[in-house]
A and B are shown apart, each in its own frame.
Chain A
């Protein structure tokens, strides 16, 4: 029996979007507005010797570090990125100053007249160089069991290395923010994911209290993590500009600029040493994870943490040692991107398991099954798997849908099938949720209920699903449940819209509040209920030792990819993806399918065609002509199903779902390519260029 909350409804935000009425930040005209254009570093690492600016006409301004009243750093996990460069620059594209004025043409002319003199310094361009020069931002490690002793007695030791590439979000709407300083208050409007992150960042930069700062979200044209920390930087810049000019200042990036300076998915190298027992099972694993964090650390430490805590995938390796390092390079900073470090390590570990199985001559699925986590097992960080792990059911279902075993048995060159198993930790890592203490408010007024949260709609369907949770609980029609505008002056801080936490954490609070409201419904015409997140007592986490429950629970999944390779050109054609997930209980099957379809296609893009190189710190692919994402002609048929597994603490049993689908596709596709070509795949993206080289070496 399907849970009736899952029954699909139409999205509440869609009609305005389909008709073109929805207003994105570039569509909103501000009375008296000025435009801003950023002048950026042309060098990967240099001292700024001098900046020569032309005489400015009336109404045109230059805004730089000297205009910042407070701290010249963007507040985030590590607040190291300058709002405007001081005496040095550390990557090509780093913001140095803004030119602000009423006419875009004139601004452009002024920008072209600004002359910056640099003194170049030795730069670091990639992970290899960074390791040699020991340019480490963060280093963490944790272990479990007796890895050292187990390796000594291992029957067999396998060492291997995997690499994943840089990826750009390509949210269809480029970044854009407007700052408006009015009546002593700062109003920030824009395309954003985390209103309260921006509020905090503005506080630091202006030295103000939050009561004079309002962050207001405009319709947001996709984000995927790309609008998590980055808009804070732009917001601080336009805020300072608006104070100086006393007018609204609007800054909309064009695509090239957006690609050049916005954050990317961390390129990674993951090294393994696996110790096998006499049954050929992996009993000891040493994992060494390296991420290219780019020029500033920002929120890379937490990306690395999720990468490290996801590195064992769905497997139980009793003896484990994991080291993770974020390296400093003079590349554009890496940051949040759907999956947040987990896609890199899950890909690597899935491929390690696949490649070991192939080497041993066994079916990869059977080999993986011998290592699966089960309820009651310890997690990689010695926490506990508390909820039922329905991987056996998931596997059985995908097998029935895709005939994986039969297909892998009938091997044909240039045709392949591959399977991945994966999980995603729900909500913030470690003590994240306990620290943030998300808060929500539910307000009844007559027969209408308003929900006040800071979780934003950015395409993923948050507004529809959160309203649905409340409406369903109170048996109200959707139109009687409305969302308060995302305006930090009107909403409580329920935390950022990240980490697939919106439904499980924020939705969970809304569900509690709705149940309470239901009980009290007839008490008064106006009722306000607020709820604050309480971390369940049974979860423990030691942030120094990385020990305990890194996540309250996990969502799980499997993908089977079927691919064909052009025997002449090595082009990969992904024909079909079959997917089964356990996300607890789907809150809305249609919205969820949207996340799955979109996430899988983004994952396929990362695994196959999305190439972004940065030789000497300069991106080779910096526009949509060179950086290719999948089109309608590139996507396979995608069939997906769910296994219900209600989570006690999630609303209606829901867990996390937004990032999970991205994670599974790359290793499934890579395993299929490996199957088709009979070569181990260790790197993504798997371009035809890379495949041709592999094929040459193997024959």
Chain B
């Protein structure tokens, strides 16, 4: 009999985590579907569930040292209305799932689920978000790119929980986001693109580019970004073919029920081109 545990606070949750093999469950919007077996049947979990969605400590959004700390249990619907959250992230979250499921789904769940189609991920990769992973005895802070290793794979230890997401204090004055789904309302992502840039005096001071759903993990290349940084915007146009060529080797999508590899690749590069064209 698979049962579960509802800790009173984070400490209790971490203690349970340390003692028992368990599955953390926040909103359950990923887990309940992944483990669903059909109408009228209980989802099939092979380990006790650790309910964490209600934990106060995980539900806060705060600013510390200028960085924004988002609790792993913050709901998608809460992100949309919080004024500490950037418009760029809100834009992605508003297009995730549907209003009733956004009242359940958490940002931590989206990250830990580690799907290449996870819609908070391109933004979080682009801004170099860091994650706080806690156990009873330790705490580590790692870059999101080090946390997600493969589709559905992350480096969470059996005794750990994701507690916070840190968004570094950094301002971008250009932001471009596009999610391509099968339809306008509620749709999983076929391909998505997040572009951020800091342009001053017609120079690219910083640029971040991330692609979702077109490779086993989110595609971001510091190397290519570095090759653009420092350039006057007037030179970008000429560099576009070269930039596209470089990203083309990193974008390795698949054919599936929702789209084709060819479309995903072409559209990703077109979105990149569109973003770059808007810089000058």
Contacts and interface: CB of A to CB of B under 8 A. Distances in A.
Interface size class of B (residues with CB under 8 A): 20 to 34
Nearest to B274: A568
B162 to A, nearest CB: 25
Given A174-B39, A569-B180, A631-B183, 14 more contacts: A35-B40, A104-B40, A105-B41, A105-B42, A257-B38, A568-B178, A569-B271, A626-B258, A628-B183, A634-B183, A634-B184, A688-B263, A688-B267, A689-B260
Given A257-B38, A568-B178, A689-B263, A633 B185 contact: yes
A254 B42 contact: no
B178 to A, nearest CB: 7
A108 interface: yes
Given A568-B271, A569-B271, A626-B257, A633 B38 contact: no
B183 A692 contact: no
A568 B270 contact: yes
A621 interface: yes
A632 interface: yes
B7 to A, nearest CB: 28
A688 B259 CA distance: 9
B41 to A, nearest CB: 6
Interface string B172-206: 00000010101111111000000000000000000
Interface in B114-157: none
Interface in B7-61: 37-42
B183 A256 contact: no
Given A633-B184, A689-B259, A569 B38 contact: no
19 contacts: A108-B37, A108-B41, A256-B38, A568-B271, A568-B274, A569-B178, A571-B180, A573-B184, A620-B257, A625-B188, A628-B182, A628-B183, A631-B184, A631-B185, A633-B183, A633-B185, A634-B183, A634-B184, A692-B267
Contacts of B182: 609, 611, 628
Interface string A600-644: 000000000101000000001100011010111110000000000
B38 A631 contact: no
Given A569-B180, A688-B267, A254 B38 contact: yes
A252 interface: yes
B183 A609 contact: yes
Interface in A99-122: 104-105, 108
Contacts of B266: 692
A570 B271 CA distance: 11
Nearest to A632: B185
Interface in A559-577: 568-571, 573
A257 B262 CA distance: 31
B259 A621 contact: no
Contacts of B257: 620-621, 626
Given A254-B39, A621-B257, A692 B180 contact: no
Contact of B187 (A252, A573, A628): A628
A568 B260 CA distance: 16
Nearest to B40: A104
Given A568-B178, A628-B182, A692 B263 contact: yes
Contacts of B37: 108
Nearest to B185: A631
A632 B183 CA distance: 11
A621 B259 CA distance: 11
Contacts of A257: 38
Contacts of B259: 689
A634 B263 contact: no
Contacts of A632: 185
- A-B pairs with the 8 shortest C-beta distances? A631-B185, A633-B185, A254-B39, A626-B257, A689-B263, A628-B182, A633-B184, A254-B38
A569 B268 CA distance: 9
A571 B178 CA distance: 12
Contacts of A689: 259-260, 262-263
Nearest to A631: B185
Contacts of B187: 628
Contacts of A104: 40-41
A257 B178 CA distance: 34
Nearest to A255: B39
Contacts of B38: 108, 254, 256-257
B24 to A, nearest CB: 23
A28 to B, nearest CB: 14
Contacts of B274: 568
A693 B253 CA distance: 17
Contacts of B41: 104-105, 108
A103 B48 CA distance: 23
A625 B188 CA distance: 8
